[in-house]
Amino acid sequence: MSEVQRRKYTQEERTAIFDGEFMPHIDSMYNFAFRLTFDEDDAKDLVQDTYMKAFRFINSFEQGTNAKAWLFRILKNSFINEYRKKSKQPAKVDYQEVETFYNSDDVDYQSTTDLRAESVKDMLGDEISNALNALAVDFRTVIILADLEGFTYEEMAKILDIPIGTVRSRLHRARNLLKDKLKGYAQSMGYNTDEEEE
């Protein structure tokens, strides 16, 4: 990897960047880490590792650019390279999700769910969280980045090292899978999910 050769930051500048641009994102970072690992200790380790790496490679961070996206990218890479392997519980793989994911690059927009906006709005935080947590990690990740953290497609493409078109289609699939799970909750709650009542 060819590192862009920037001037090195002074000790004061490093501290200023770290405290002023990196540390304010600790809440988002911890929540991202927790949603990836589902474990408080693992999440803590992951966030600590990320900040250590951020400090070590601080010269490759351009002051004033998007620190949050830069940090999220480090965290995501650490998770893939280290935590995913030694994870306490084997990754839950939903084969249907994986299959849909890898089989085509085209996205099916025809498959409409009969889930209604009103029943979604009535759902509890726990139901939403559970549905999100039940998604395979790649799908969970794009929803966290887009909806919980408000990253743009372009930022997500950089964080995940994938093309923008893939961000868009993965996000679409992720939300469809989420809708399926929410539909299950809606039905069990007795909300009306039918198309139209006669």
Partner 1 sequence: MEINNQSSGERKLQCNDVTRCFQLLESILDGDLGENGKEVLKEKLDKCQPCFEHFHLEQAIREVLKTKCTKQPVPTELADSIRQMIQESK
Residues that bind partner 1 (CB under 8 A): 18, 23, 26-27, 30-31, 34-35, 40, 43-44, 47-48, 51-52, 55-56, 107, 109-110, 112-113, 115-118, 120-121, 123-126, 128-129, 132, 143, 146-148, 150, 152-153, 168, 171-172, 175, 178-179, 182
Please, what is the minimum distance in Å from the beta carbon of residue 64 to partner 1?
21
- Comparing CB distances to partner 1, the nearer of 136 and 178 is 178
* Torsion sign over Cα 111, 115, 118, 120: negative
- Distance of alpha carbon 101 from alpha carbon 173, whole angstroms: 8
- Distance of alpha carbon 22 from alpha carbon 92, whole angstroms: 32
Please, what is the minimum distance in Å from the beta carbon of residue 161 to partner 1?
19
The phi-psi region of residue 150 (left if phi > 0; otherwise alpha if psi is between -120 and 50; otherwise beta) is left
Amino acid at the residue 8: K
Nearest to 152 by CA among 95, 57, 72: 72
Please, what is the minimum distance in Å from the beta carbon of residue 195 to partner 1?
10
- Comparing CB distances to partner 1, the nearer of 2 and 117 is 117
Please, what is the minimum distance in Å from the beta carbon of residue 13 to partner 1?
14
- Comparing CB distances to partner 1, the nearer of 2 and 32 is 32
What distances in angstroms separate CA 175 from CA 112, 128, 180, one per listed residue?
Answer: 12, 12, 9
